[in-house]
Amino acid sequence: KQEVTQIPAALSVPEGENLVLNCSFTDSAIYNLQWFRQDPGKGLTSLLLIQSSQREQTSGRLNASLDKSSGRSTLYIAASQPGDSATYLCAAAPSGGSYIPTFGRGTSLIVHP
Amino acid sequence: DGGITQSPKYLFRKEGQNVTLSCEQNLNHDAMYWYRQDPGQGLRLIYYSQIVNDFQKGDIAEGYSVSREKKESFPLTVTSAQKNPTAFYLCASSTGISPLHFGNGTRLTVT
Protein backbone atom coordinates (compact mmCIF):
# COMPACT_ATOMS: atom_id res chain seq x y z
CA LYS A 1 0.00 0.00 0.00
CA GLN A 2 1.28 3.45 -0.92
CA GLU A 3 2.66 5.53 1.93
CA VAL A 4 3.40 9.23 1.56
CA THR A 5 5.64 11.06 4.01
CA GLN A 6 6.28 14.78 4.24
CA ILE A 7 9.29 16.30 5.94
CA PRO A 8 9.50 18.55 7.83
CA ALA A 9 6.14 18.50 9.63
CA ALA A 10 6.53 22.18 10.49
CA LEU A 11 8.73 25.02 9.33
CA SER A 12 9.12 28.62 10.47
CA VAL A 13 11.25 30.98 8.40
CA PRO A 14 11.82 34.71 7.95
CA GLU A 15 10.40 36.43 4.93
CA GLY A 16 12.53 36.26 1.79
CA GLU A 17 14.01 32.81 2.30
CA ASN A 18 13.93 30.15 -0.40
CA LEU A 19 12.29 26.96 0.87
CA VAL A 20 12.25 23.28 0.00
CA LEU A 21 9.42 21.03 1.15
CA ASN A 22 9.90 17.30 0.76
CA CYS A 23 7.48 14.52 -0.14
CA SER A 24 8.45 10.85 -0.38
CA PHE A 25 6.37 7.90 -1.52
CA THR A 26 6.98 4.17 -1.23
CA ASP A 27 5.45 2.91 -4.50
CA SER A 28 6.99 4.45 -7.62
CA ALA A 29 4.11 3.26 -9.85
CA ILE A 30 2.35 6.60 -9.77
CA TYR A 31 0.20 8.31 -12.37
CA ASN A 32 0.77 11.81 -11.05
CA LEU A 33 1.80 13.73 -7.97
CA GLN A 34 -0.09 16.79 -6.82
CA TRP A 35 0.83 19.57 -4.40
CA PHE A 36 -1.89 21.40 -2.48
CA ARG A 37 -2.12 24.37 -0.15
CA GLN A 38 -4.53 24.44 2.78
CA ASP A 39 -5.32 27.56 4.80
CA PRO A 40 -6.71 27.08 8.34
CA GLY A 41 -10.30 25.87 8.31
CA LYS A 42 -10.43 25.75 4.52
CA GLY A 43 -10.36 23.16 1.77
CA LEU A 44 -7.36 22.29 -0.34
CA THR A 45 -6.24 24.39 -3.29
CA SER A 46 -4.29 22.68 -6.05
CA LEU A 47 -0.90 24.29 -6.66
CA LEU A 48 0.90 22.02 -9.10
CA LEU A 49 0.36 18.64 -10.68
CA ILE A 50 3.23 16.62 -12.17
CA GLN A 51 2.43 13.73 -14.48
CA SER A 52 4.59 10.62 -14.11
CA SER A 53 6.29 11.37 -17.43
CA GLN A 54 7.31 14.86 -16.31
CA ARG A 55 10.24 16.00 -14.20
CA GLU A 56 8.95 19.33 -12.95
CA GLN A 57 6.25 21.96 -13.09
CA THR A 58 6.46 25.68 -12.37
CA SER A 59 3.92 28.30 -11.40
CA GLY A 60 5.19 31.72 -10.43
CA ARG A 61 7.46 31.37 -7.39
CA LEU A 62 6.64 27.67 -7.04
CA ASN A 63 8.52 24.81 -8.64
CA ALA A 64 7.76 21.15 -8.05
CA SER A 65 10.03 18.33 -9.14
CA LEU A 66 9.45 14.60 -9.37
CA ASP A 67 11.95 11.73 -9.21
CA LYS A 68 10.00 8.51 -9.48
CA SER A 69 13.02 6.26 -9.22
CA SER A 70 13.89 7.59 -5.77
CA GLY A 71 10.25 8.07 -4.72
CA ARG A 72 10.61 11.78 -4.08
CA SER A 73 9.04 15.09 -4.95
CA THR A 74 10.09 18.52 -3.76
CA LEU A 75 8.23 21.81 -3.69
CA TYR A 76 10.50 24.81 -3.99
CA ILE A 77 9.16 28.20 -2.88
CA ALA A 78 11.27 31.16 -3.93
CA ALA A 79 11.46 34.40 -1.96
CA SER A 80 8.89 33.36 0.64
CA GLN A 81 6.27 35.85 1.82
CA PRO A 82 4.00 35.95 4.90
CA GLY A 83 1.09 35.15 2.57
CA ASP A 84 2.70 31.78 1.86
CA SER A 85 1.94 30.70 5.43
CA ALA A 86 -0.27 27.62 5.18
CA THR A 87 -0.11 23.84 5.27
CA TYR A 88 1.25 22.20 2.12
CA LEU A 89 0.18 18.65 1.26
CA CYS A 90 1.33 16.30 -1.44
CA ALA A 91 -0.68 13.43 -2.89
CA ALA A 92 0.45 10.54 -5.09
CA ALA A 93 -2.08 8.95 -7.45
CA PRO A 94 -1.42 5.35 -8.52
CA SER A 95 -1.09 4.32 -12.14
CA GLY A 96 -3.87 2.05 -13.33
CA GLY A 97 -7.02 1.28 -11.39
CA SER A 98 -8.81 4.01 -9.49
CA TYR A 99 -6.22 6.87 -9.68
CA ILE A 100 -7.23 7.75 -6.12
CA PRO A 101 -4.36 9.63 -4.48
CA THR A 102 -2.75 8.93 -1.13
CA PHE A 103 -2.04 12.06 0.90
CA GLY A 104 0.84 12.96 3.15
CA ARG A 105 0.20 14.66 6.50
CA GLY A 106 1.47 18.00 5.28
CA THR A 107 4.10 20.56 6.17
CA SER A 108 2.86 23.51 8.23
CA LEU A 109 4.70 26.63 7.06
CA ILE A 110 4.93 29.96 8.85
CA VAL A 111 6.71 32.84 7.13
CA HIS A 112 7.22 35.72 9.54
CA PRO A 113 7.90 39.32 8.50
CA ASP B 1 -17.96 30.13 -11.57
CA GLY B 2 -17.54 26.37 -11.44
CA GLY B 3 -16.77 24.76 -8.15
CA ILE B 4 -17.73 22.54 -5.26
CA THR B 5 -20.11 23.68 -2.55
CA GLN B 6 -20.20 22.03 0.84
CA SER B 7 -22.85 22.91 3.35
CA PRO B 8 -23.16 23.72 6.11
CA LYS B 9 -19.75 25.07 7.10
CA TYR B 10 -20.31 24.14 10.76
CA LEU B 11 -22.57 21.40 12.07
CA PHE B 12 -23.34 20.44 15.65
CA ARG B 13 -25.15 17.26 16.64
CA LYS B 14 -25.90 15.22 19.69
CA GLU B 15 -24.40 11.78 20.03
CA GLY B 16 -26.68 9.09 18.63
CA GLN B 17 -28.11 11.24 15.83
CA ASN B 18 -27.47 10.71 12.15
CA VAL B 19 -26.37 13.77 10.19
CA THR B 20 -26.03 14.41 6.44
CA LEU B 21 -23.37 16.60 4.89
CA SER B 22 -24.08 18.13 1.51
CA CYS B 23 -21.68 18.27 -1.46
CA GLU B 24 -22.66 19.75 -4.82
CA GLN B 25 -20.44 20.36 -7.87
CA ASN B 26 -21.04 22.14 -11.16
CA LEU B 27 -17.77 21.13 -12.79
CA ASN B 28 -19.35 18.26 -14.73
CA HIS B 29 -16.93 15.87 -13.04
CA ASP B 30 -17.71 12.17 -13.04
CA ALA B 31 -15.79 11.29 -9.88
CA MET B 32 -16.53 12.55 -6.38
CA TYR B 33 -14.86 11.79 -3.07
CA TRP B 34 -15.31 12.24 0.67
CA TYR B 35 -12.32 12.66 2.95
CA ARG B 36 -11.98 13.06 6.68
CA GLN B 37 -9.24 15.22 8.20
CA ASP B 38 -8.25 15.15 11.87
CA PRO B 39 -5.72 17.54 13.47
CA GLY B 40 -2.18 16.72 12.41
CA GLN B 41 -3.40 13.95 10.12
CA GLY B 42 -3.44 13.55 6.40
CA LEU B 43 -6.67 13.10 4.50
CA ARG B 44 -8.34 9.72 4.84
CA LEU B 45 -10.72 8.48 2.18
CA ILE B 46 -14.23 7.59 3.36
CA TYR B 47 -16.12 6.87 0.11
CA TYR B 48 -15.74 7.62 -3.56
CA SER B 49 -17.95 7.46 -6.62
CA GLN B 50 -16.71 7.33 -10.20
CA ILE B 51 -20.10 7.31 -11.91
CA VAL B 52 -23.71 7.98 -11.00
CA ASN B 53 -25.45 5.22 -9.03
CA ASP B 54 -22.15 3.60 -8.10
CA PHE B 55 -19.82 4.16 -5.14
CA GLN B 56 -17.02 2.36 -3.36
CA LYS B 57 -15.78 2.20 0.21
CA GLY B 58 -12.55 3.94 1.05
CA ASP B 59 -10.19 3.27 3.92
CA ILE B 60 -12.51 4.33 6.74
CA ALA B 61 -16.09 3.71 5.54
CA GLU B 62 -17.44 2.17 8.75
CA GLY B 63 -20.19 4.32 10.27
CA TYR B 64 -20.73 6.34 7.08
CA SER B 65 -23.07 6.03 4.11
CA VAL B 66 -23.38 7.83 0.77
CA SER B 67 -25.59 8.04 -2.29
CA ARG B 68 -24.95 9.20 -5.85
CA GLU B 69 -28.30 9.68 -7.53
CA LYS B 70 -27.18 12.70 -9.55
CA LYS B 71 -23.86 13.56 -11.14
CA GLU B 72 -23.75 16.87 -9.30
CA SER B 73 -24.46 15.60 -5.80
CA PHE B 74 -22.72 13.23 -3.38
CA PRO B 75 -24.15 13.56 0.16
CA LEU B 76 -22.45 11.88 3.11
CA THR B 77 -24.40 10.59 6.11
CA VAL B 78 -22.54 10.19 9.38
CA THR B 79 -24.46 7.57 11.30
CA SER B 80 -24.66 6.92 15.03
CA ALA B 81 -22.44 3.88 14.42
CA GLN B 82 -19.44 6.12 13.73
CA LYS B 83 -17.42 5.96 16.96
CA ASN B 84 -15.61 9.26 16.68
CA PRO B 85 -17.45 11.50 14.21
CA THR B 86 -16.08 14.90 15.26
CA ALA B 87 -13.80 15.96 12.41
CA PHE B 88 -13.35 18.18 9.36
CA TYR B 89 -14.98 16.64 6.27
CA LEU B 90 -13.84 17.48 2.76
CA CYS B 91 -15.56 16.71 -0.52
CA ALA B 92 -13.65 16.63 -3.80
CA SER B 93 -14.28 15.93 -7.46
CA SER B 94 -12.29 15.17 -10.59
CA THR B 95 -12.69 13.82 -14.09
CA GLY B 96 -11.03 10.65 -12.78
CA ILE B 97 -7.50 11.35 -13.91
CA SER B 98 -7.42 15.12 -13.55
CA PRO B 99 -6.43 17.14 -10.48
CA LEU B 100 -8.71 16.95 -7.48
CA HIS B 101 -10.86 20.00 -6.78
CA PHE B 102 -11.97 20.47 -3.18
CA GLY B 103 -14.83 22.20 -1.43
CA ASN B 104 -14.28 24.36 1.66
CA GLY B 105 -15.22 21.62 4.07
CA THR B 106 -17.74 21.02 6.85
CA ARG B 107 -16.62 20.95 10.46
CA LEU B 108 -18.78 18.49 12.38
CA THR B 109 -18.90 18.51 16.17
CA VAL B 110 -20.75 15.76 18.00
CA THR B 111 -21.30 16.08 21.74
Question: Between chains, do A31 and B102 touch, taking CB under 8 Å as contact?
Answer: no
Average pLDDT, chain A: 94
pLDDT at B97 over 80: no
B2 contacts chain A (CB < 8 A): no
Q: Give contacts of B105 with chain A, Cβ < 8 Å.
A: 41-43
Question: Between chains, do A43 and B105 touch, taking CB under 8 Å as contact?
Answer: yes
Question: Between chains, do A43 and B102 touch, taking CB under 8 Å as contact?
Answer: yes
Mutate to test the interface with A, among B43, B91, B106 (most CBs of A within 10 A): B43
pLDDT single digits (tens) B40-67: 788 999 999 999 999 999 999 999 999 9
Predicted pLDDT at A96: 75
Angle (CA) B63-B103-A4 rounded to 5° is 70
Distance CA B27, CA B91 (A): 13
Residue of B nearest to A40 (CA): B104
Predicted pLDDT at B1: 61
Predicted pLDDT at A80: 97
pLDDT single digits (tens) A48-103: 999 999 999 999 999 999 999 999 999 999 999 999 999 999 999 988 777 889 99
Residue A27 DSSP symbol: -
Place A16 in a pLDDT band, splitting at 50, 70 and 90.
very high
Average pLDDT, chain B: 93
DSSP states of A55-102: SEEEETTEEEEEETTTTEEEEEE-S--GGG-EEEEEEEEESSTT-PPE
Please name every residue paired with B43 in a beta bridge, in sequence order, or none if there are none.
Answer: B37
B106 contacts chain A (CB < 8 A): no
% of chain A residues with pLDDT over 90:
88
Please name every residue paired with B19 in a beta bridge, in sequence order, or none if there are none.
Answer: B78
B95 contacts chain A (CB < 8 A): no
The mean per-residue pLDDT over the stretch B101-106 comes to: 95
Predicted pLDDT at A86: 97
Angle (CA) B6-B9-B13 rounded to 5° is 110
For A111, the 3-state DSSP assignment is strand
The mean per-residue pLDDT over the stretch A38-48 comes to: 94
Distance CA A83, CA A113 (A): 10
CB A107 within 8 A of CB A11: yes
Predicted pLDDT at B98: 76
